[in-house]
Amino acid sequence: MAQFDCIVVGAGPAGSTAARELASAGARVLIVDRAEFPRYKACGGGIPLRTEKLLPFPIDSVVEDSVSLLRVAHNGSGAFVRDSGQPFAHMVMREQFDALLLEHARHAGAEFRPGTTVRALDLNGEVAIQADGFEARAQFIVCADGAHSPVGKMAGLGGGIAECAAWEVEVRAPALKQKAYRGTALIELGGRPWGYAWLFPKADVLSIGIVLPREQAGTMKDRVNAYIRSLGLENADVDIARGHKIRFRRGAEPIANEHALLAGDSAGLADEFTQEGISYAVESGRLAARNVLRGLGGGTITGYQRDIDREVMPELKAARLIAFMFYGMLHRAPRPWMFASGHMGYLWDAFFAVQRGESTYAREAARVPLLPGIARRMMERHGS
């Protein structure tokens, strides 16, 4: 049976980052993924610039566009455009971005086994995985196998994490339409109690989708189709249409034990203002590697949850407060709030600064302490 120091399940941003850092430090690492790579990944593909700053290599080779303009509307009206003056996000196709991260992990020395679905997990004394015709053992396992995280469930982790639903399509728009959206991200607000549709420009397609509360998942396809019609793209070819879920860790849900830990989407590390999770996936991969190396040195990996609580959760909690305030105002007074938002330079300057890694949600929320305090009490009253 193959023996490793750590097995990483999932070759997305969290898994490949953890594997790269572990292998770079001399650990014997196996990455397994049920897919063959490169593989399509349902995702808008918007990568905040802060993500790039977490990586020790450039991602220029997979960037399809960089956006500095943000166009926001509410149910087709009240549209305004904010210009960040410089890019605040890169647009990528996830199959290319993830393949790049995996390439660097393999270059560092990690072994990769694609097309491998973990059927059983044993944590008795050490880690043992069983797949079809394959078995491996290790001292630790990093579960980075996505929002459904079947291996995380086998490890007894990740229970009670909140979730929402998303639907995304890749549309081949006419050349003039494609050109018109260059450098611009579109956000169409209007979901209740929250939610939005988006359009992100890529080199050959437009990524269009929607994110909504889980209980509204059945309406996503119709809403995306309506949004596509509103953009005048109803006759454009659709390459791929696929749904996925996004999870949100809000409290002390368990994400680590003596032998296993959850990273990225498996741990619910996405923010509730933008529903973005790639930057947190990369950060959690780094923290996972740090703790596994600590464990291999004679310590434990249980400090991983403490590290996430200290270094990631303040951002997720601040983003949740901001989302609650923003959508709360939108519902109470949609027209005045859209008008005010369009003229509130501070709001969007702060947003762009966070996306570029020049500030944080927690720092920006702390600048106006009265509103977060009110929002927090309202959330407590509503049991949110």
Check residue 331 and give its pLDDT: 86
Backbone angles phi, psi at 111, to 5 degrees: -90, 140
Domains of the chain (ranges plus CATH)? 2-44+93-161+249-311 (3.50.50.60), 63-91+162-247 (3.30.9.10), 316-382 (no CATH)
Distance in angstroms (rounded) separating the CA atoms of residues 102 and 4: 18
The proportion of the chain whose per-residue pLDDT surpasses 90, expressed as a percent, equals 85
Give the residue carrying structure tokens 């909140």: 162
- Closest by CA to 223, choosing from 174, 248, 188, is 188
Digit-coded pLDDT (tens) for 313-354: 999 999 999 998 899 889 889 999 999 988 888 889 999 999
Distance in angstroms (rounded) separating the CA atoms of residues 183 and 61: 17
Distance (Å) of CA 337 to CA 196, 342, 347? 16, 8, 12
Does residue 58 have a pLDDT over 90? Answer: yes
- Give the distance, in angstroms, between the CA of residue 58 and the centroid of all CA atoms in the same chain: 19
* Average pLDDT rounded to a whole number, residues 25-42: 95
- By three-state DSSP, how is residue 273 classified? coil
Check residue 198 and give its pLDDT: 97
Digit-coded pLDDT (tens) for 262-313: 999 999 999 999 999 999 999 999 999 999 999 999 999 999 999 999 999 9
Distance in angstroms (rounded) separating the CA atoms of residues 277 and 268: 8
Digit-coded pLDDT (tens) for 234-244: 999 999 999 99
Q: Given pLDDT bands bounded at 50, 70 and 90, which one contains residue 381?
A: low
- Residues contacting 278, CB < 8 A, separation 6+: 13, 43, 47, 48, 51
Residue 189 token pair: 């607000």
- Residues contacting 358, CB < 8 A, separation 6+: none
Residue 31 token pair: 């990455």
Does residue 8 have a pLDDT over 70? Answer: yes
Distance in angstroms (rounded) separating the CA atoms of residues 158 and 209: 26
Give the residue carrying structure tokens 């349902």: 42
Q: Are 15 and 35 in contact (CB under 8 A)?
A: no
Q: Given pLDDT bands bounded at 50, 70 and 90, which one contains residue 377?
A: low
* Average pLDDT rounded to a whole number, residues 158-169: 96
Look over the chain and give the mean of its residue pLDDT values, rounded to a whole number: 94
Alpha helix ranges (H) inside the chain: 13-24, 49-53, 94-107, 150-154, 175-180, 220-230, 278-296, 303-311, 313-332, 334-343, 345-355, 361-366, 370-382
